[in-house]
Structure 1
C-alpha cells in the first residue's frame, strides 16, 4: 500500500519571504552587499539584487561585495528601484519618470524600462508631427509634372 503524500502550498509565501527580506534589509540584518551611488550607500541582499537586475547580477558574479553605480544615475532612483526589487511596487511621479527610466536602463530592469517609457510617451500625448520638407526627388517630380511656364 502506497504511503499518503500531502501537498502544502502557501498562497502568499513569495510575498511573505520578500517582506521578511525587506525587513531584514531595513534593519541592517544579513545584508551582504553595499551599493554605492556617488557619496551615498545602501545595503542589500545579493540574491535579491541579482534576481532583480542583470546589472547587479553580472557585478555579483564577479565576486564584488561593493557595487559602484555610475554617477549619471540619480541616487533617489536607485533607492526606489531597490525598494521595487523587494516589494514589486514602484510609485512613479510624472516628473520622476525620466530619472527612473535612466536608472532602470543602466540597471537593466526591463519591466520598469517598459513602464516608464509608456508613462513618458503618454505624458507627451499624440502630437501631430510637422510636415517634412520636400526632398530633392519630390521637387524634381513636381517639376516634371507641372506644365512648362510660358515665357513672354
Structure 2
C-alpha cells in the first residue's frame, strides 16, 4: 500500500504545481485543497486509508471517482474491502451509492479497455466479476443510503 499512497501523493503534488501545473482531465488542477465529499470520505474509511483525505482534497470533486478507481486498481486489498462494503449495502439495502457505482464503472471501463494505470495489475476474473455486477446496481445519493442504513438496524 505504501507504493499506492506514494503514487497518490505524487499525483496530488503534480496537480498542486505553479503556473506550469498540469492540466487535469481537461481543466486546470486545483491550487489549494478543497473539502472532499462524504462519499469519498466513507470510501477512504472503508478501505482503511482515511489519511489519504488530504491527498484527495487536491482532486476536483468531479474527478474523485476516477481517482479512487485508480487507487483501488493499484491496491487489490483495498479494492476487496471496498467491494465487501458495497456488496453489503447491495444485499441489505438493495441499492448502492451513486458515487460507489461510478467508481465501479471506472474500474470496469479501465479493465475492459485495457487502460489500467501504470503499476496496476489486471484484476483476477473473480474480482472483475464482482465489480461488474456492482456497476449494474441501482445508485442512490449517499444521504438515502445513510438513512436506509439507520432504518435497517
TM-score, normalization: structure 2?
Answer: 0.30
Q: Tell me which protein shows more helix as a share of its residues.
A: 2
TM-score, normalization: structure 1?
Answer: 0.30
Greater gyration radius = 1
